[in-house]
Amino acid sequence: MSRSLLENTSKHEPYHHGNLHATLLEAARTLVEEHGIDGFSLRELARRAGVSPAAPYHHFKDKAALIRALAGESQIRLGIASQHAIKGIQDPMQRLSKLGVAYVLFAFEHPSEFRIMFRQELRSPLGELEQPDIKPDPAFVLLKQILIECRQAGCIPITSERALELASINMWALVHGLATLIVDGPLSHTFRTKEQVIELTRQVTGGSLQQQLGGT
């Protein structure tokens, strides 16, 4: 990106780009943001990176592979945002609430990134094979961890391991469903501002938070 803009007058456009890999990922992110994931083309990406259409194939096996890499990055971003949201807060239940809001808010503010993370091409393209790019979701392990904090603090009467597993799935599904409905679903027309989304998330998750139990 910087290379072609700065040196195109001085020398004869270096044959090797230097750090195409990173440039591609960066450009791809903004491109997906603009045109959506479906209007995203490898050739346009190469064009923006100032490189031939075949160049990206030396850094990513596929278009799908590039998208997988993007999704991996977004997963990490979401994890960081979640960490940041609960930083400094002590009360486990408040941490849980903040975490949920952070999740939904991330989806609301970065819709294309959120969509990419749950795309079909990421999951076992051959139906059985595991994709090595996809690690256990950082946001999910964080959620589990906080739920354990809650139990230890006595905020939640969960004893069995099974009940804790169910509670975490419950929370995740709730928050993820909310995010999906807001981003791509029927709630997208009703809730448009950041404040509305935060308020809705608080109230919807709040109901389930206070009595989230009596597990199996």
Residues that bind DNA (CB under 7 A): 12, 14-18, 20, 40-44, 46, 50-55, 57-59, 62-64
CA angle 138, 195, 102 (to 5 degrees): 10
d(CA 124, CA 39): 23
With CB under 5 to 8 Å by kind, the binding choice for 188 among a second copy, DNA, none is: a second copy
d(CA 51, CA 56): 8
Query: With respect to DNA, which residue has the nearer C-beta, 37 or 89?
Result: 37
Contact predicate 106/182, CB 8 Å: no
Name the minimum Å distance from CB 111 to a second copy: 9
Q: How many CA atoms lie within 13 A of 89 on its CB side?
A: 18
With CB under 5 to 8 Å by kind, the binding choice for 53 among a second copy, DNA, none is: DNA
With CB under 5 to 8 Å by kind, the binding choice for 187 among DNA, a second copy, none is: a second copy
Name the minimum Å distance from CB 27 to a second copy: 21
Query: With respect to a second copy, which residue has the nearer C-beta, 9 or 216?
Result: 216
Other CB atoms closer than 10 Å to residue 106's CB: what's the count? 23
